[in-house]
Amino acid sequence: MPGLTHLECTRCGQSFAADRPQTVCPKDGGVLYARYDLASLRRKFTPEQLGGRVSSMWRYAEVLPEAAPVSLGEGFTPMLASREFPKVFIKDEGLNPTGSFKARGLSAAVTMAKHFGLKRLAIPSAGNAAGALAAYAAAAGLEAHIFMPKDVPMANRIESQYYGARVTLVDGLISDCARMVAERKQQEDWFDISTLKEPYRVEGKKTMGYEVAEQLGWRLPQGIIYPTGGGVGMIGMWKAFGEMQQLGWIGSERPKMISVQSAGCAPIVKAWDEGKSTSEIWANAATSASGLRVPKAYGDYLILDILKQSQGTAVAVSDDEIMDALHRWASMEGIFAAPEGAAALAAYRKLRASGFFSESDQVVLFNTGAGLKYLDTLNQAGASAGSKLPTSRQIAGIIGPY
Ligand SMILES: Cc1ncc(COP(=O)(O)O)c(C=O)c1O
Ligand SMILES: [Zn+2]
């Protein structure tokens, strides 16, 4: 692997070999980052070379592990100029395979699992990561063992089953699912693809950072609003910015990184508000943005550090604000977003109202998934929202039969 040289612990800095499967640092449980020989790449790899390359995240091959990609066309998603706010862009990750940005991380992780000859992969998931693992495992000919809350959106369960994964529905949260995977993985010979417990999901997600820069003409925006559960996208993008600086593609400027969470599960917001460097487990997590129902992020120390370094912030939005933003994006922009993605718009509105961002700040909002995966959630939300949401309104008329 010419570019990739080793893995490095984000807590103690120890190096680990990248030529075999790795999990987390055995000493302190720290997340391992893939490190590349960026000093030699600096002379050889330039933005000009990207023109004409494949329209997927694998266009950044030099800064990804060298292995035959298990690809379904993930990444290089549209960067859409908002019709409502002139300086805002919406990065539409709903157009990825399996309808969410989870495709990027799982494409990279499954690529490496296949490369290392692993056969049986297991994942605890809030929903979309399960569907993505199931799809990429199917494409790679590997087994996927999925543990997800029993009340995930129906699409997450059904797609996983169609892709041929073994699905276990758990009466609990993603944290309970993670415990089950951890307890059984040794005996079942599963490789654990949990968020940040192997090094390559971050590598897939970091391509969002490369794309933001490329699509904005190699100038970073003033802010990025990212719906945060486990936080891999934020962690990945921040890593990408550091790499791009070392490659000489950007300077030391950075966007303010903003974590948005649901008020029903906001451990990062709470820790940020209290000035802490790690979070506590959020009790009784509940939100219709199911991907944000993560009571404790494994990489909380990384997320909170990024918020601090970037002079960003963390914002909680209510489910009502999320649904209102989802409706707004659909009717105003023509973008039918996942509730998690719509949370980014709800946060942007708050940050404009508070003066954190001004009208002239260029801000990228991440729509992390497709609304089409949440029809049951949205139908239910409509039924309980009086006449505020389209699904609760009368259909204009039912005509026929002709
Ligand atoms: C649509 C969507 N957005 C955001 C998230 C949160 O992602 P992360 O765990 O990488 O922070 C998820 C996680 O499941 C999701 O499915
Ligand atoms: Zn360590």
| CA of residue 31 to ligand 2 center, whole Å | 8
**Torsion sign across C-alpha atoms 181, 138, 368, 237:** positive
The answer, yes or no, to whether any atom of ligand 1 lies below 6 A from the CB of 144, is: no
Q: Is 227 in a helix, a strand, or coil?
A: strand
Query: What is the pTM assigned to this prediction?
Result: 0.96
| CA of residue 302 to ligand 2 center, whole Å | 13
Q: For 254-330, where are the alpha helices, taking DSSP H only?
A: 267-273, 300-309, 319-328
| CA of residue 210 to ligand 1 center, whole Å | 19
Q: Give the pLDDT mean for 138-142.
A: 98
The answer, yes or no, to whether any atom of ligand 1 lies below 6 A from the CB of 126, is: yes
Q: What is the pLDDT of residues 264-316, one digit of tens each?
A: 999 999 999 999 999 999 999 999 999 999 999 999 999 999 999 999 999 99
pLDDT of residue 1: 46
| Burial category of 77 from C-beta neighbours within 10 Å (exposed 0-12, middle 13-18, buried 19 and up) | buried
Q: What is the pLDDT of residues 92-104, one digit of tens each?
A: 999 999 999 999 9
Among 169, 85, 179, 182, which residue's Cα sits nearest to residue 127? 169
pLDDT of residue 306: 98
Evaluate if residue 386 carries a pLDDT over 80. Answer: no
Pairing of the two strands 256-262 and 223-227: parallel
Q: Give the pLDDT mean for 37-44.
A: 94
| Residue 278 neighbours by CB under 8 Å, 6+ apart | 271, 300, 301, 304
The span from the CA of 287 to the CA of 267, in Å, is 13
The answer, yes or no, to whether any atom of ligand 1 lies below 6 A from the CB of 3, is: no
The DSSP-derived string for 51-111 is: TTS-SSGGGGGGGS--S----SS-----EEEPSSSTTEEEEEGGGSGGGBTHHHHHHHHHH
pLDDT of residue 400: 83
Q: Give the pLDDT mean for 172-179.
A: 94
Cβ atoms within 10 Å of 371's Cβ, excluding its own = 21
Question: Of all residues in the chain, what percent carry a pLDDT higher than 90?
Answer: 93
| CA of residue 164 to ligand 2 center, whole Å | 36
Answer yes or no: are the C-beta atoms of 201 and 195 closer than 8 Å. Answer: yes
Which protein residue has the closest C-alpha to ligand 1 atom 16? 291
